[in-house]
């Protein structure tokens, strides 16, 4: 998710997106612990997306 897409979302949408992204990151991390992912760079990309959304939420408050 690009920064420009994140800026277009409302605060409620950002909070909802943050919760879903954190859940999918946790699920992906658990799946990687059990058996290695085909593309482990997905973890890094998802973690950075979570950080982008969280930063935008903080900036709006």
Query: Which pLDDT value is given to residue 2?
Result: 87
The CATH number that applies at residue 33 is 1.10.287
According to the model, what pLDDT value does residue 1 have? 80
d(CA 9, CA 13): 6
- In the chain, the number of structural domains is 1
pLDDT tens-digit profile, the chain (61 residues): 888 899 999 999 999 999 999 999 999 999 999 999 899 999 999 999 999 999 999 999 8
How far, in Å, CA of 52 to CA of 7, rounded? 10
Domain that holds residue 13: 3-60
Residue 51 has a pLDDT of 96
């Amino acid at each position: 998710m690009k920064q420009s897409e994140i800026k277009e979302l409302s605060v409620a949408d950002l909070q909802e997106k943050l919760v879903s992204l954190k859940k999918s990151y946790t699920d992906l991390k658990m799946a990687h612990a059990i058996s290695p992912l085909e593309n482990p760079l997905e973890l890094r990309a998802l973690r950075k997306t979570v950080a982008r959304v969280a930063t935008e939420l903080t900036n709006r408050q």
